[in-house]
Amino acid sequence: MPKFDFVSAIEDRKRQLLVEELRKQHELTIGELNQLARGELGPVLRSITIAELMGSGPVPGVSGAARGASPRPEARVPRRNPSNSSSSQNKPLRNEVVTRTAAGREAFDKQILEVIEAIGGPASATEIQRRVGGTNMQVRSGVNRLIEAGHVTWTGKARGTRYYPA
């Protein structure tokens, strides 16, 4: 066995063992993980994805991250099952909005503006979020872009902020 393959196999096994041990440590805090990342295990720890720690992702025998490639977790968008219960209809839809691209932000902002215009009167960020989905931060960022563009006005502050069509 060439030296490179031997070293690579040891690094992969070290990574697998670290994932197994971290899965057992349910009480670890982010601060404690940060301390581990500063030590000898730091490079290996930084190559592990949250999906692997949660057990939903495979712990590959030979990982690209262990060979020095930058780790890329899989992008998964959870789909909600429609339900007739009123409690699920009141919850905001999450992770169903893509605002990472300019086109995605533009489409999301258009939806927000349409909702604010449909409401006509004071619209809270929570009400907008219930209708368009996304996270609270995505909605607030979208509304702020619309305010800067002059399409929306607002009154109040914090949870009392209400938005109006301009």
What single letter denotes the amino acid at residue 91? K
**Contact, 155 vs 161, CB < 8 A?**
yes
For residue range 50-75, what is the model confidence (pLDDT) as tens digits?
778 777 655 555 444 443 444 444 44
pLDDT of residue 120: 84
50 and 95 share a domain? no
Total Cβ atoms within 10 A of residue 60:
13
Give yes or no for a contact between 113 and 165, defined as CB atoms under 8 angstroms apart: yes
- Note whether 156 and 109 are same-domain residues: yes
Element (H, E) at 37: helix 30-38
CATH at 109: 1.10.10.10
The length of the chain, given as a count of residues: 166
User: Would you say residue 72 lies in a domain?
Assistant: no
Asked if residue 77 belongs to a domain, the reply is: no
Are residues 101 and 155 both part of a single domain?
yes
Based on the fold, state whether residues 41 and 100 are members of the same structural domain: no
pLDDT tens, residue by residue, 139-162:
999 999 999 999 999 999 888 999
Clarify whether residues 43 and 104 are in a common domain. no
Domain membership of residue 154 (yes or no) is yes
Cα 28 from Cα 79, distance rounded (Å): 30
Closest-CA residue to 126 (of 84, 90, 88) = 90
Which range of residues forms the domain containing residue 11? Answer: 3-54
Query: Is the pLDDT higher at 28 or at 82?
Result: 28
pLDDT for 62: 40
Please check whether residue 156 is in contact with residue 162, taking contact to mean a CB–CB distance below 8 angstroms. yes
Q: What is the pLDDT of residue 2?
A: 61
In a domain, 152, yes or no: yes
- Rounded CA Rg of the chain: 23
Domain identity same for 106 and 156: yes
Give the integer Cα–Cα distance in Å for 102 and 97: 13
Please count the structural domains in the chain. 2
Copy the structure tokens of residue 63.
Answer: 């990982």
Q: Look up the pTM and report it.
A: 0.45
Q: Do 100 and 108 form a contact (C-beta atoms < 8 A)? A: no
Residue 33 lies in a domain: yes
